[in-house]
Amino acid sequence: MKFKDEQLNFEDNLIKSCQTEIHEISYILKSIKWYPEFSISVNNNVYFHQNAYNKAFEIEFKKHNWDSQPKLKDSPRLIGDFKKSFVFVEIQFGNSSTLYRDFYKFQYGFQNKLLLIAVLIVPYNELDFFPTRPNSVNNMANFKLANNIFTIIPINVPTWIIGLLAEN
Kindly report the CATH number assigned to the domain that includes residue 69.
3.40.91.20
d(CA 147, CA 50): 21
What is the band of 40 on the pLDDT scale with cuts at 50, 70, 90?
very high
CA atoms of 119 and 80, how far apart (whole Å): 10
- First-to-last CA distance in the chain? 4
**Spatial contact of 79 and 69, defined as CB atoms under 8 Å apart:** yes
Q: What is the mean pLDDT of residues 125-148?
A: 93
The Cα 3–Cα 23 span in angstroms is 14
Higher-confidence residue of 11 and 93: namely 93
- What per-residue confidence (pLDDT) applies to 112? 97
Mean pLDDT value across residues 142-154: 91
Quote the pLDDT of residue 28.
98
Number of domains in the chain: 1
Which residues does residue 80 pair with via DSSP β-bridges, in sequence order? Answer: none
Residue span of the structural domain in which 64 resides: 3-164
Q: What is the CA radius of gyration of the chain?
A: 15
Model confidence pLDDT, tens digit, residues 110-131: 999 999 999 999 999 999 999 9
Among candidates 155, 118, 123, 127, which has minimal Cα distance to 141? 123
- Whether the full predicted model's pTM is greater than 0.75, yes or no, is yes
Given the DSSP bridges, would you call strands 159-164 and 117-123 parallel, antiparallel or unpaired? parallel
CB 106 within 8 A of CB 79: no
Confidence (pLDDT) at 46: 97
Categorize the per-residue pLDDT at 13 as very low, low, confident or very high, splitting at 50, 70 and 90. Answer: confident
